[in-house]
Amino acid sequence: MKKINLIYLVFIPVLLGIFYINWNYARHTVMFYGFAENKDTEINHDHPVQVNKIYVIQGQFVNKGDLLLDVTHSRFDLKMNDLSHDIKAMKLKAQVRKAEIQAAIRQLQTQRLSKVTDIERKMQQLQSEVNFNKSLMKGLKSIEVKEVSDGKSPNEVKMESLRQEVELARKSFDLEINQFEKELATVNGPLDVEVSKLESEKNFYEAEEQKLSVRAPKDGLIGNIHCLEGENKSSFATLITFYERNPTQVKGYVHENLIVHVNVGDTLEVSSSLHPVHRGYGTVVGLGSRIVEIPARLRKMPEVKTYGREVLIQIPPDNPFLQKEKVVLNFLNPEDVPSTPLLPFFENTSSSKSSNQETAFQR
């Protein structure tokens, strides 16, 4: 059995060590380039609208909630006009019906008064005749005895009939009046329900119309304005492009031949290619799933096409970068990674200040 040469046993670990050191050094010294980008938002509506007034211009800085556009929806206006007319018609209908019932009640009251007054007048006439007859028969004892023996006189019977007629007339009219009064008390019930339903629908459309006003979602800059005053825009058509004030992410490209592994959550140092003193930290939040052509501006030799993988890095909004500014991305050694990567950017003016600020970042 051949003996194993000891030199091989030493050589293999040395090779592995060299490979590990080289790989680790490459990972933590390689840099690549990217663009600082603002997050842009396309503002549109899910309804066709007409642009009435534009309050901003391209490039203008606006605060959150500022009015950008005044727009209307023709269908909303027509619907609210129809609802307003229906509500007025319902209320007018209730008023007319009330007036009719009140007029009917007044008419019945007048008829009752006239009927009762007429019967009471007859009763008064009959009573006058009875009194006159009594005055003529006063002292005629034979007739008085006869009236007593026969019971009620004809005039008394007629008087009793008139009293019953008055009572019947009053009850008859009171019954009709009572029915109209009950209807008067409830005439608004069904109409109020219908009016309430229409008003709720109108309030809904008014709220929807208020939502049509285009306001700034946050502090930022106006990009392109894709509409004109008086123009009709279809549903989901872009009205305004809105940008955040400062870049909030960097799109970088790692060359496909680099021996480097980028993972989501890694921390990178981000600095301006023109002003290296502007630097800070960013966190990898996304990785491309394919190899793409690296933009010419980010190549070492612009005329030679190179390919790589897209990397998205989130950076703090409080930074000095411009939109589409070229930045340098450096991998950090584990011991240099700050505990809170997304900290405000700082400017290095001297080596001593840089050292102090790096200490502050690591805190």
Q: Indicate the burial class of 51 (C-beta count within 10 angstroms; 0-12, 13-18, 19 or more).
A: buried
Indicate whether 272 and 350 sit together in one domain: yes
Number of domains the chain is built from: 3
SS (H, E, C) 145-164: HHHHHHCCCHHHHHHHHHHH
Domain contains 96: yes
Say if 135 falls within a structural domain. Answer: yes
DSSP string, 193-253: HHHHHHHHHHHHHHHHHHHTSEE-SSSEEEEEE---TT-EE-TT---EEEEESS--EEEEE
pTM: predicted TM-score of the whole model, two decimal places: 0.47
Provide the pLDDT confidence category of residue 55 given band limits of 50, 70 and 90: very high
184 and 265 housed in the same domain = no
- Look at residue 190 and tell me if it is in a domain: yes
Sheet holding 240-244, edge to edge: 40-43, 240-244, 220-225, 61-62
Task: Report the SS3 class of residue 319.
Answer: coil
Q: Domain limits at 109? A: 76-208
73: left (phi over 0), alpha (psi -120 to 50) or beta: beta
Q: For position 357, what pLDDT does the model report? A: 35
Whether 146 and 193 share a structural domain: yes
- Residue 115 and residue 91 share a domain: yes
Residues 91 and 199 in one domain: yes
Is there a single domain that holds both residue 88 and residue 188? yes
- According to the model, what pLDDT value does residue 151 have? 56
Lowest mean pLDDT among 82-96, 108-122, 199-213: 199-213
302 and 275 inside one domain: yes
User: What residues form DSSP beta bridges with 51?
Assistant: 71
pLDDT at 168: 87
* 152 belongs to a structural domain: yes
Do the domain assignments include residue 192? yes
306 belongs to a structural domain: yes
pLDDT at res. 26: 46
Give me the CATH number covering residue 54.
2.40.50.100
Tell me: do 179 and 231 sit in the same domain.
no
| Residue 313, H or E segment | strand 307-314
Q: Is residue 67 part of a domain?
A: yes
pLDDT tens for residues 339-351? 665 556 555 433 3
Task: Give the domain-ending residue among 208, 230, 254.
Answer: 208
Same domain for 126 and 237: no
In this predicted structure, the answer to whether residue 150 has a pLDDT above a threshold of 60 is no
3 state DSSP class of 309: strand
Residue 21 located in a structural domain: no
**C-alpha span between 24 and 333 (Å, rounded):** 9
Verify that 226 and 197 share a domain, yes or no.
Answer: no
Same domain as 264, residue 328? yes
Higher pLDDT, 275 or 30: 275
Separation between Cα atoms, residue 159 and residue 148, nearest integer Å: 17
